[in-house]
Amino acid sequence: MPIYTDDRYKVIIKMIEKIRPKTILEVGAFDGHRAVKMLNAAKKYNKDVKYYGFDLFENMTIDIKQSEFHSKGNVSCKQVKKRISSTDCEFELIVGNTIETLPNFKPDRPIDFVFIDGGHSLDTIASDWGNIKKIMHEGTVVVFDDYYENRNDVGCKQLI
């Protein structure tokens, strides 16, 4: 069931508190704020939580912003590393386009929770999902962002 407001981020934290993942993967790490919240929620239940964050960071261009319907500013990988390091959790940031980086991704532990909020184009979301499916286990929970009920040209609605 779609959630239309910023309450969706509160729901993600509630899901993490219920699922208690040891490993979180986020497509679209952006500035790391959501990563910090997810990690802080997960580490209440596990000492050894790991985060994998995928994003373009400094590689974001105006053309990519337009093709991926991205309206946010640019954030450096260094800034995000600093922010996430405050959690004292293990993490990896993977820089680049997920169409190129996710197919080659080999996590060193099972992925328990995935939040897909990267590119918003139909092709990128389909690619992200296709690659995430390859690294899931039976209990992996995946949450998609950017479900637009009144649009079929962008977001995950068509895929779902």
Per-residue model confidence as pLDDT tens digits over 35-50? 999 999 999 999 999 9
DSSP 75: -
pTM of the model: 0.90
pLDDT of residue 3: 46
Query: Looking at residues 19-39, what average pLDDT do you find?
Result: 96
Cα diameter, the chain: 42
User: What DSSP element (H or E) covers 131?
Assistant: helix 122-133
pLDDT of residue 2: 47
- Strand (E) or helix (H) holding 54: strand 50-55
Average pLDDT on 122-131 reads: 92
C-alpha to C-alpha distance for 38 and 141, rounded to whole angstroms? 14
pLDDT for position 138 = 97
Whether pLDDT at 150 is above 50: yes
Number of C-beta neighbours around residue 131 at 10 A: 18
> Parallel, antiparallel, or unpaired for β 111-116 and 136-144?
parallel
pLDDT of amino acid 159: 83
Judge whether 135 and 94 are in contact, CB under 8 Å.
no
The DSSP output letter for 44 is T
Sign of the CA dihedral with 65 first, then 68, 70, and 73 last:
negative
Q: Where are the alpha helices (DSSP H) in 20-110?
A: 33-42, 62-67, 77-85, 98-101
The average confidence (pLDDT) of the chain is 88
Asked if 20 contacts 45 with a C-beta cutoff of 8 angstroms, the reply is: yes
